[in-house]
Structure 1
Amino acid sequence: MPLQYATGDATRPGTPGNKVIGHVCNDRGGWGRGFVLAVSRRWPQPEHSYRKWSHTPGFALGAVQLVQVETDTWVANLVAQHGYRTRANPVPLRYDALDTCLATLADHAVELDATVHLPRIGTGLAGGSWDQIAALLDRQLTTRAITTTIYDLP
């Protein structure tokens, strides 16, 4: 089952059943730019949970935090960005951490019998290559027959 692409807001998937909305977070506890702003406009819980989690053991690259925001909807905070994008760190995305996060995300999706919904994770502030990220999504999600939709804003 290939990746599906849609035009729209990844925080508003229009599919029935359980849904997991995933996005990339940094390993510094910072929340305030990019897709997380759309998440925070819809639900306060993911930001609150992430900020609290960022001060605990286990918060590290490759970790995933699943936060239920509606009866049938969860947000997955995927820690796959090392620090922030700077001249010295032009690609803070860590592909190995993202791969680990996506494997965990796939396990959660299977357990919840959920579809997965994502913006083009890792390509904005994290500076990653969509071709490499899409290959990881295919390997970890679509090969497990998890319906995965990528959203682009209009």
Structure 2
Amino acid sequence: MSEITYVRGDATVPSVKGVKVIAHVCNDLGGWGKGFVLALSRRWPEPEKEYRAWHRERAVNDFGLGAVQFVQVEPYVWVANMVGQRGIRTGSKGVPVRYEAIDAALDRVASKAAELGASVHMPRIGCGLAGGKWARVEPLVLGRLVERGIAVTVHDHGEGAK
């Protein structure tokens, strides 16, 4: 059984050949402005533009926890906007991350990656501003993606890399 590959570097610049899906976690409020999304927006305007439209038109689409929006940004690169956090602040209900939503979203990412013959690239999803623990997210990535034979690379930017 394969495993997750951990590398240092920017997940918006995966250095492998073939089709790539860059997966990341978004909130359910339509907010885009802190964390990994800033790196995405520096490279491509489409993921933010599409996410904001998806949220704005949520009454007539599938926007919500566990949903995924796939945005093609280059001929062989897609961005997966995964709705995996409730709100943006830690409060009485705990941190914003929602593991069950990330799990559902990863299942959708796995299907799309299989369809495209793509590898999946991500930061430690749900573990930055969403407040999640990698010890809870990693098994979801292994179960939904790696066990289906999809190559996964986790990009650690700066400190904390394995």
The answer to whether TM tops 0.5 is yes
SS class of match (1:20): strand
Matched, 1:75 2:76: no
Q: In terms of mean alpha carbon deviation, does 82-91 or 60-69 score higher? A: 82-91
Distance (whole Å) between structure 2 residues aligned to residue 136 and residue 151 of structure 1: 17
Q: In terms of mean alpha carbon deviation, does 81-90 or 43-52 score higher? A: 81-90
Matches within 5 A, 1:118-137: 118-137=122-141
Q: Which residue of 2 aligns with 1:145?
A: 149
Q: Which residue of 2 aligns with 1:31?
A: 32
TM-score, normalised to structure 2's length? Answer: 0.93
Distance (whole Å) between structure 2 residues aligned to residue 72 and residue 12 of structure 1: 12
Distance (whole Å) between structure 1 residues aligned to residue 93 and residue 78 of structure 2: 31
What is the deviation of 1:90?
3.6
Matched, 1:97 2:92: no
Q: Which residue of 2 aligns with 1:19?
A: 20
TM-score, normalised to structure 1's length? Answer: 0.97
Q: In terms of mean alpha carbon deviation, does 89-98 or 117-126 score higher? A: 89-98
Distance (whole Å) between structure 2 residues aligned to residue 119 and residue 90 of structure 1: 22
Taking only the aligned residue pairs, the percentage that are identical comes to 54
What is the deviation of 1:89?
4.4
Letter in 1 for 2:139: A
